[in-house]
Amino acid sequence: MPKRFTREDILRSVEENNVEFIRLQFTDLLGTIKNVEIPKSQLGKALDNKMMFDGSTIEGFVRIEESDMYLYPDVNSWVIYPWGGTEDSRVAGLICDVYTPDGKPFAGDPRGILKKVLKEAEAMGFSALNVGPEPEFFLFKTDAKGEPTMDLNDKGGYFDLAPMDLGENCRRDIVITLDKLGFEIEASHHEVAPGQHEIDFKYTDAVTAADNIQVFELVVKNIARRYGLHATFMPKPLYGVSGSGMHTHLSLFRGGENTFYDASDELGLSQTARWFLAGILKHAKGFTAITNPLVNSYKRLVPGYEAPCYVAWSPTNRSPLVRIPASRGLSTRLEVRSPDPSANPYLALAVMLKAGLDGIKNQLELPGETDRNIYVMDEAELERAGIESLPATLKEALEELKKDPVICEALGEHALRNFIEAKEIEWDMFRTQVHPWEREQYLSLY
């Protein structure tokens, strides 16, 4: 559960831990962490929500003529980093919401967008969306200049140990660091592909979970660098092996009650869970541009590598988009398997929640479950089963996003416009580039 700090706790922590600088962190529309670093003498001003920055320099924020933005720190996000300083001059961080000069939440702030959808859930009687993310990453060796190479740090496979898994010490150091920062780590292990790793942390409320993902990625990259490694959350860095996903476990609570659980149901799923799941399936194609936002994301969403590229669900099968893990009671949840770790976590959770809430509001009928391995089904079998595919390219995903009014509403007009503009530029750059594969295939032949 989220930490609870007061202003006084933070001021005391600064003195007790020799904190000299504080990074006021926020996230841009594409999921990149930004920060304004201040000396401790300015902390009081920051905690009074009076710290201003130029929003016109941030991707997807505002034009230069409307650039002034204010950072409102969340005191519960206070953390002292184990890097970036010395014992006598340490660096801490606070995650911030972004506000306009008239004191209103900024429409382009991803954290604010998630909070807006959570308020919609609250109005429907739900107190919390609990989230358990599973971000995966690769570790590559670096060269003499510290630049990443394409050489993997090991030849290990799923759940392998040293000496096969040469990233084990690095991964253990990451876990130790996360523990010191207040994370409750449930598991860490080598993943399917060589050089690929996963660290799972305990579920928490949606905003804290998204904050944790951002801090997690910072920790992974910083610790990897100490080991002469480069950590990447790129979805598919290598051809022919599994890509990195961020399977996301979701459950809606009302106070201490998990509204997804019904002991009398054959699968232990409540009607609320079934409606929510129906909403996820209905809007999956529409929210894929958000949960899988890179050109490269669609190199992962192909059959044969455990990545879900079909819109279906199952209580056991891992090939569909959504799986129902075996735990019941308070642990009853849906596992949405399509998101990848390049996604902006605030936006990804916002659109998935919005999709599920739409299912509940409209009591959408849940399609039948799929227990077959979808990867071995041919086109005719898929059509007979009513199973559609997720978008195959970023361009296709953007077109599906534009056609889905529910997901568009979740993002809001400002964020939607700027996100689509940035991603269409990315797609066009990729589309017009001449790639090495093309030269290998065509240069001599033609």
Mark the binding-site residues for L-glutamate, compressed into ranges.
300, 306, 318, 337
Check if 435 is active-site.
no
Check if 335 is active-site.
yes
Check if 165 is active-site.
no
CA distance 293 to 284: 13
Catalytic annotation, pick one of 247, 283, 328, 333 = 247
Do residues 279 and 355 touch, judged by C-beta distance below 8 A?
yes
CA distance 29 to 17: 33
Check if 369 is active-site.
no
Please give the annotated binding residues, written as ranges: 134, 136, 186, 191, 198, 201-203, 247, 249-251, 300, 306, 318, 335, 337
CA distance 333 to 278: 14
Catalytic annotation, pick one of 97, 154, 191, 211 = 191
CB-based contacts of 90: which residues, under 8 Å, 6+ apart? 17, 18, 19, 20, 80, 81
Check if 318 is active-site.
yes
Catalytic annotation, pick one of 318, 384, 431, 439 = 318
Burial class (CB within 10 angstroms; exposed 0-12, middle 13-18, buried 19+) of 109: buried
Place of tokens 């976590």: 345
E strands within 153-193?
185-190
Catalytic annotation, pick one of 262, 335, 400, 404 = 335
Catalytic annotation, pick one of 7, 37, 48, 54 = 54
Query: And the tokens for 308?
Result: 């879900």
Q: Which amino acid is at 434?
A: V
Check if 247 is active-site.
yes
320: Cα separation from own chain's centroid: 19
Residue 145: φ, ψ to 5°: -90, 0
Burial class (CB within 10 angstroms; exposed 0-12, middle 13-18, buried 19+) of 56: middle
Q: To 10 degrees, the CA torsion angle through 282, 246, 77, 69?
A: -60
Catalytic annotation, pick one of 154, 165, 168, 198 = 198
For residue 391, count other CB atoms closer than 10 A to its CB: 22
Check if 426 is active-site.
no
CA distance 391 to 298: 8
Check if 191 is active-site.
yes
Query: And the tokens for 259?
Result: 């509204």
Check if 211 is active-site.
no
Catalytic annotation, pick one of 28, 97, 109, 136 = 136
Catalytically annotated residues: 54, 134, 136, 191, 198, 247, 318, 335, 337
